[in-house]
Structure 1
């Protein structure tokens, strides 16, 4: 049941550009999202330590290139700039998984990295 709830929350990303897992919800401006696109090339999934695509970041593009998320910031961000239909999977601290909706070009200006342990880009 928690998985369904998280998927519902992730659906809001596509509709609003905002992701809320735990606390800390921020909306990214179109200008911030456009600037971040330069750092996250087509076919990549990018996770940013800070809100609005700022701070340290990790680029992922190879399937099964599972990355541990070291950040504990409550307001990070991400871009799913992969090929159409490619979904990234977030492995969460509660043992469940949540998926982004198919790319091209889903973004989140605010995510609580405390709830995310690993990300598999596809």
Structure 2
């Protein structure tokens, strides 16, 4: 993956805009079954049944591959080791269903000012599409279903040699090591990459 040095110009300011009109949250309480809570999230965001079904299918695909627990309509908790946020088909960024504001975009922690301590991997170019927030050193995070294109931001602890993400091919051979934080690539290629270890 080619590397560009310097700070990311957060041209994703549009990602902070509402995707639709403001809608009051219709989320069920925390004691409600997960399926009821997710249905309420979809309803409050005015998703069609087709959109809801397609989004759940994408989430199910990640759960089968990566494990973890679905904690919102489009969010998977990787057991305290990070998160996966899934975008609706045709939308550039995942929505913020977890907070009950499913009409707004979920702002990626790596695109905020300051240090997030994450390695953020994005399925699409220019920090778009599904994203995996990688946090735990020595852990494998699988991106092998993503194919061509993609992008990443290394926003881990600054100037530490161990905070360089490593990318491995299906044979388990390391094929790329990122520069130390802060570094990024807006136009990468996940096609040869099976998994990423964010730090060692």
Alignment: residue pair count: 99
Q: Which has the larger radius of gyration?
A: 2
Q: Deviations over 1:19-54 (max 9, x none)?
A: xxxxxxxxxx72337779x41341100100000100
Q: Does residue 48 in structure 1 map to residue 122 in structure 2?
A: yes
Structure 1 residue 66 corresponds to structure 2 residue 140? yes
In structure 2, how many angstroms separate the alpha carbons of the residues matched to 1:115 and 1:100? 15
2:11 — aligned with what?
Answer: 32
The separation in 2 between residues aligned to 1:96 and 1:66, in whole angstroms, is: 13
Q: Report whether the alignment pairs 1:115 with 2:192.
A: yes
Deviation at 1:111, TM superposition (A): 1.2
- Provide Cα deviations, 1:53-103, integer angstroms capped at 9, x if missing partner: 000010011111211113333210001000022101101246531210111
Q: Which runs of 5+ in 1 are unaligned?
A: 1-9, 18-28
Bigger strand fraction? 1
Gaps of 5+ in 2: 16-92, 94-106, 111-115
Q: 1:55 to 1:110 in 2, by over 3 A?
A: same
TM-score, with length taken from structure 2: 0.43
Choose between structure 1 and 2 for higher RCO, CA contacts under 8 A separated by at least 6 residues: 1
RMSD of aligned alpha carbons = 2.7
